[in-house]
Amino acid sequence: MIRKKVLCSSVILSIMLLSKLYSNPQMESIEDPYKQKLIAYAVSKVKERESSPEKQLEAYFKTITFADECPPLDNSFVKRKLSKYLSNFSFKKQQSHYLHEKADKHLPSISKILMSYGIPEDFKYIPLVESGLDVSVTSHRGAGGYWQFMPQTARLFGLKVNAKVDERLNLVKSTHAAARYLKYLYSEFGDWTLVAAAYNVGGGSLKSSLRRQGVDNYYELRLNAETGSYVYKLISVKEVIENPVKYGYSENMTISKG
C-alpha cells in the first residue's frame, strides 16, 4: 500500500515538473535570451549600415538645398559635380578659411538687406563666389565691387558709377542694387536657381539657352563652364560656411588674413 502511494506520488510530481517545464511561461523563459541576442544582433547590423560613411553621406546630401530648392542629387552627374566643388571649397583649402572670415564680417548685413526685398537668404553667398568679398577685385570685362556689377547694370539698378564715384565699392548700396536686380530676374524666370544662373551669364543669354535647348531646369542645361558650375559653387560655399566642422574646420586652425 505504501509502495503504491509512493509510486503515485512520484508520477504526480513528474507530471507537475513536466507541466512547468513545457508550459508557455517556461518555454518563453528558455527562448528569451536567444531571441534577445538575435534581435540585438539584427539591430546592431541595421545601425552599422545606417552609420556607414556612405549612408551618412547619402543622408547628408538629402538635406542640401539652395533657395529652398533641392538639387536633383539622384542624378549621378549632379551628385559627382557637387561633391567636387564641396571638396574644392573645404576648409582644408586656404581660400575657404579666408572666405569664412569674410563671411563672419559681412554676411549678416547682406542677409538682412536681401530678405527685406523678399530674396532668399542663400543669395548672400553670391559676393563670396563673385569677389570673395574683396572690394578691390575687377574682372577683365570691367565688372567690379562686391557683387561684380558691370557698370551699365550697376547704373540701371541705381548705383552711381563714373570717373569720381563708384558705388559698386559700397557694400550696403551695392547689396540694395543686387537685391533689385535679383528681384527683376525672378520676375523674368520664376525660378530661383535660374535666377542665380542668370545673375552670372545674363538674363538674355540664359533665355536663349533655355529656348534653344527646350528645357526649363538649370541642371539639365548645357552652359559655358563658368555658368555651368556657378550654382554648384554657391551651394558648396553655403555648405562649407554653415557646416564648417564637416568640411575640415578646427578651432585650432589658423585662418589666413585677406
Is residue 147 within 8 Å of residue 177, measured between CB atoms? yes
Q: What is the pLDDT of residue 98?
A: 76
Rounded to an integer, the average pLDDT of 214-240 is 96
The CATH number of residue 226's host domain is 1.10.530.10
* Range of the structural domain that residue 182 is part of: 75-247
Task: Specify if 58 maps to a domain.
Answer: no
Residues 42 and 79 both lie in one domain: no
Mean pLDDT, residues 24-39 taken together: 58
Sign (positive/negative) of CA torsion 87, 88, 89, 92?
positive
109 and 233 belong to one structural domain: yes
Greater pLDDT, 169 or 43: 169
| 17, pLDDT greater than 50 | no
Q: What's the average model confidence in pLDDT over 104-116?
A: 96
Q: For residues 225 and 205, what is the distance between their CA atoms, to the nearest angstrom?
A: 14
Residues 40 and 92 in one domain: no
pLDDT category of residue 100 using cuts at 50, 70 and 90:
confident
Which pLDDT tens digit goes with each residue over 60-89? 889 999 999 999 999 999 999 999 999 988
119 with 36, same domain: the answer is no
Give mean pLDDT, residues 167-191. Answer: 98
